[in-house]
Amino acid sequence: MTSLKVELPDRMADEVARMVGEGWFHSEHELVRVALAEFLRTRHAELQERFQREDIAWAVAEAKPEQAG
């Protein structure tokens, strides 16, 4: 498993602590994992399309012959 160190604005950290304190999550770690998983799930298609467009743009640029200048 990989660990990440994340810095949060104070207001966001307070909200995380509040949600954990109210029992919505067992820990801050759980809240962050759930939030990231949800973000990736909802953005998967968007991210995949962006990565494909970047790959296509790279391939097109690589395929163009260098212009003499």
Residue 52 within any structural domain of the chain: yes
Averaged pLDDT for residues 12-20: 97
Domain that holds residue 46: 10-61
Model confidence at 68, pLDDT cuts 50, 70, 90, reads: low
Residue 2 within any structural domain of the chain: no
Q: pLDDT tens for residues 27-67?
A: 999 999 999 999 888 888 888 888 899 999 999 998 877 66
Residue 1 within any structural domain of the chain: no
Predicted confidence at residue 44, as pLDDT, reads: 84
One-letter amino acid at 23 equals G
Residues 6+ apart with CB under 8 A from 22: none
- In total, how many domains does the chain have? 1
Distance CA 10, CA 16 (A): 10
| Residue 67, phi then psi, degrees to nearest 5 | -90, 135
